A and B are shown apart, each in its own frame.
Chain A
Amino acid sequence: MSAFIRVENAVKTFGDAESGTGVRALDGVSLSVDKAEVVLIIGPSGSGKSTLLRAINRLEKLDSGEIWIGDDVVTARRADLRHIREDAGMVFQSFNLFAHMSILENVSLAPRIVRKVPAVEAREAARAILERVGLADKFDRFPRQLSGGQQQRAAIARALAMNPKALLFDEPTSALDPEMIKEVLDVMTGLADDGMTMLVVSHEMGFARAAAHRVIFMDQGRIVEQGSPDDIFAHPHEQRTRDFIRHIL
């Protein structure tokens, strides 16, 4: 096993840092994720989970600290953003499917535009990926015509279409009705079984038990504790972790 994503001493402040009114979203976070490892990040809202995820594919710029994806330095001033984002796909809480395109176009857009794959080939590949997430009959639908669960599966397919080496999930099931959560988690578990490197911000215990290799508990911009799902959920060491686990269970 080798570290694929490495974060070292990440610091990020929102608002005015110097006057002290700013909010420290990341307060010296270090983390490494191995190839094919599935890491779950939990923690109260405002603990910096999403910021950490967004910093890894440079949707957010760090104040200080370094991040690597493979051999790319994400935090470099002249980082190859295209390459970084091809390597690490992202799935959002609110799906963010392109509203003016069919599902098939959503999935085939980035390969066509970024990778310059011929349109016919890109659509062919998109169909195969959509079938894999169980949306074989929805190619021509627009995002607003799909349920939340279907939209999120389409969004996962869109990220997969770029053949990412890792996937970042930012609360992928938080915006879903309970009966739709399972269909999304099933797709995610399938990816984990296939050896995808995954960093998932979520409180889904079912997914943690089924797929996560490691669980990280964050609070106030720091990693408080990490360990196997069983360690963190059943035998947490830190008081803060215990309090939090009690609240979400």
Chain B
Amino acid sequence: MKTRILGITAVLAVVAATLYGLFGVPADLNQGDAQRIMYPHVSSAWLAYLSFGVTALAGIGWLIRRDLRFDAVAVASAEIGVLFTALAIWGGMMWGRPVWGVFWQWDDPRLTTTALLLALYVGYLLLRRLSDDPARRATRAAVVGLVAAIDIPIVHFSVIWWRSLHQPPTFLSPDKILHPSAPLPFVLALVGMLAAFTLAWTWLLIRRYQLARAELAREEAIRGGLVRRARSAPRPVAVGGDEGSVAQSKAPAEAAR
């Protein structure tokens, strides 16, 4: 019930933030209306970072505690992170074309490291499909999730470390978005969209976690069913005692000669 209320609140918040971003806040003096894409683009990028950070922490949780609930959180957050990374890239492309004149540029470190981030976590999700053993799968995924998380600070600081088309970081730089000179409607639009998307992310994470737990329970039921069936299956009856069964088992081998 609480999750349902959270979902409804998130929908209303995203709708309100979208309408405000599209029609409430004035157009940027230099970039015009294209700058409106910044609000969902930055919010998506923030949630991509958060998702992969949660995946890494949950992976550490699994490696220490060996509790599959951590692995369920990790996979849930990774899948949602892939979604938000793809949405952030899309938003960046739609903003970049009218402002930079190009959708994409492989020379740009922010764009390239973000594409790498997406590829790493798609790989993470694919890797999970390679094993049916939940413990082995969780261990492999935790290690990959930790290694892949190294790319998060690289993406974030790429615009500081290297020359880039991309502007410097917007969030985690409070002096920029909360600067006294920043017009209030722009700050409200960005903070409102961040809050709305974070609510939606929380709801998605809860539901995806529930799905991961349900899938694990189903896997265990299938495994348990197979074991029960194997145990209850009738055993082969030895005809004529042990010698007979030995003779039966030897017969095909002798026939093969």
**A, B assembled together:** no
State the A residues within 8 Å of B (CB): none
State the B residues within 8 Å of A (CB): none
